[in-house]
Chains A and B, each alone.
Chain A
């Protein structure tokens, strides 16, 4: 069982990352909104009951979508890769 500190570290990292994206795309809020939509779609799929024939968005698809959204912002993309579970 992992120690609770890891949970709060992950939470803190997630907050910093969301802040960084918000700041980076202050002039282009539609990019930030699309990023949130991708995350929500992914999360919705994760909540589907197991054993459903259609699994929805895979980790790989999430990464591909975010990569095209963050095109040219390699630091944001590589940081995103650190959150994504291995596909």
Chain B
């Protein structure tokens, strides 16, 4: 189970958008 704070969620958001950007540029 994921017990995430809003800070955690925004970290997840940043990381996954970084990964998407990486995929888009590869």
Q: Are B15 and A40 in contact (CB under 8 A)?
A: no
Q: Are B14 and A15 in contact (CB under 8 A)?
A: no
Given the complex, which residues of A lie within 8 Å of B4, measured CB to CB?
Answer: 15, 18
Our pick among A10, A18, A35, A36 for the contact of B19 (Cβ within 8 Å) is A10
Chain B interface size, under 10 / 10 to 19 / 20 to 34 / 35 or more: 20 to 34
Q: Are A14 and B19 in contact (CB under 8 A)?
A: yes
Q: Are B2 and A15 in contact (CB under 8 A)?
A: yes
Considering the chains assembled together, what is the distance between the CA atoms of A43 and B24 in angstroms? 17
Q: Are B14 and A43 in contact (CB under 8 A)?
A: yes
Interface residues of A (CB under 8 A from B): 2, 6-7, 10-11, 13-15, 17-19, 22, 35-36, 39-40, 42-43, 82-86
Interchain residue pairs A-B with the least CB separation, the first 10 = A14-B15, A14-B16, A10-B19, A85-B22, A85-B21, A39-B14, A14-B12, A10-B16, A11-B16, A43-B14
